[in-house]
Amino acid sequence: MGGGAELPQRGREKRELLLFTPPHSEGEIDDLINEIKEEFPNLDVEFSQVAPDGKSEVPKELYQRATYLTTFNWLPPNAAAAPNLKFIQFLSAGVNHVAKHPIYTDSKIPLLSANGIHGPQIAEWVIMMFLNHSHKFVPLYEQQKQRLWNPATGKNVTDSPGKTVGILGYGSIGRQVARVAKAMGMKVLAYTASPRPTPESRRDDGFIVPGTGDPDGSFPSAWYNGLDKENLHEFLSQKIDLLVLAVPLTKSTTHFLSTPEFHLLNKSNPAGTYIANISRGQVIDQPKLIEALEEKLISGAALDVTDPEPLPKEDPLWEAPNVLVTPHVSGSSTVYAQRATQVLQQNLRRLRDGGRLINEVDREKGY
């Protein structure tokens, strides 16, 4: 053959590696993985299943070669140990659990959350707990277990039209709560960390499960913002019937609600605000929450998160009046893994096409 440059051969292209380290089995997402392989023919996919505590050993040769990492909480020891990573796709909505890891603190590898996949199931949990409370389901169920027929127990209930839901943290979860609450005839108030003065600023540019949420931010009748107590107190003064805590845990939101806030809620709504916390336990000053429940400053609380977790058997929160506690399960769903992989799939496309990655974490803000 004559001289000249040799034509590039497709088979010799440098292959990329997508490394999965989830606690679930790969069988749950087989169809999506096959879609990804077909769409990205130069991409190899490897699974290395880890324990829920993230302490499993992942073969060094895998993360050294990985181009993309999908994980709940396992990370390579540092960025130098995984020199080819273009992004890390987390399977959780928050990343505060790795905020002290060297990859978070000392690297610029894009960290992407799975924000947006939890909206439907968590919104249903919030509304379920609120309806349990307002329709007195718990005492009715206790009555059933005793085989008692006492209609008076279920007579003095309240329904939802005309009530106000205040959503502290108007992200994907809060937006789906708003959609459901609005359908029930409730007024929606939104609270965000930063101002959202324009229609464009109120849009949701993250991952959205089709047919859910509030993509254009049209459901709230009023918007509030800020991480200072003055703005928070203005929001809490709006006679809120259901207060939903959906903020990320940061230094600013730690113990965001404590005794002054519970007194303010009581002053603005003597009938009693019901609090649903699906963010993190530390957002509420838990001992002060117990006092607020005992003093009837609020009508009740539904908590899917506590401080600490697991909640110790001897903790007084278990016995606090009008409280419902679930073990951090509101985000669970049979389609969780599929939805999280769909976020990954969209981010692979966006990186390939030069678009903006979905759900990139702002390391300064912590979310």
Q: Is residue 360 part of a domain?
A: no
- Closest by CA position to 225, among listed 247, 210, 203, 257: 247
- Our answer to whether residue 328 is catalytic in this structure is yes
**What pLDDT is stored for residue 234 in this prediction?**
98
Sheet hosting strand 300-303, strand order edge to edge = 222-225, 187-192, 164-168, 242-245, 274-277, 300-303, 323-325
Adjacent-strand bridge partners of 268: none
Q: Is residue 79 part of a domain?
A: yes
Please tell me which residue in 24, 233, 328, 349 is annotated as part of the active site. 328
Task: List pLDDT tens digits, range 156-210.
Answer: 999 999 999 999 999 999 999 999 999 999 999 999 999 999 999 999 999 999 9
Q: Is residue 1 part of a domain?
A: no
Under a CB-based contact definition with an 8 Å cutoff, are residues 27 and 20 in contact?
no
**Mean of the per-residue pLDDT values of the chain:** 93
- Our answer to whether residue 39 is catalytic in this structure is no
Tell me: do 299 and 160 sit in the same domain.
yes
Q: Where are the alpha helices (DSSP H) in 214-277?
A: 229-236, 259-268
Element (H, E) at 62: helix 60-65
Count how many domains the chain has: 2
Task: List pLDDT tens digits, range 91-117.
Answer: 988 888 899 999 999 999 999 999 999
Under a CB-based contact definition with an 8 Å cutoff, are residues 152 and 202 in contact?
no
- Closest by CA position to 330, among listed 172, 50, 89, 128: 128
Please tell me which residue in 142, 234, 309, 352 is annotated as part of the active site. 309
Tell me: do 236 and 247 sit in the same domain.
yes
Task: List pLDDT tens digits, range 270-294.
Answer: 999 999 999 999 999 999 999 999 9
**What pLDDT is stored for residue 27 in this prediction?**
74
Please tell me which residue in 118, 133, 202, 280 is annotated as part of the active site. 280
CA separation for the pair 217, 190 (Å, rounded):
9
Residue 363 has pLDDT above 80, yes or no: yes
Task: List pLDDT tens digits, range 125-167.
Answer: 999 999 999 999 999 999 999 999 999 999 999 999 999 999 9
Q: Is residue 232 part of a domain?
A: yes
Task: List pLDDT tens digits, range 17-34.
Answer: 999 997 666 677 899 999
Tell me: do 104 and 132 sit in the same domain.
no
**What pLDDT is stored for residue 9 in this prediction?**
43
Task: List pLDDT tens digits, range 319-340.
Answer: 999 999 999 999 999 999 999 9
CA separation for the pair 217, 205 (Å, rounded):
11
Tell me: do 223 and 288 sit in the same domain.
yes
pTM: 0.87
- Closest by CA position to 362, among listed 173, 97, 99, 171: 99
Tell me: do 97 and 139 sit in the same domain.
no
Tell me: do 203 and 257 sit in the same domain.
yes
Torsion angle in degrees (nearest 10) through CA of 332, 52, 113, 203: 20
| CATH number assigned to the domain comprising residue 252 | 3.40.50.720
**What pLDDT is stored for residue 53 in this prediction?**
66
CA separation for the pair 283, 291 (Å, rounded):
16
Q: Which residue among 305, 325, 345 closes a domain? A: 325
User: What residues make up the domain containing 28?
Assistant: 14-117+333-353
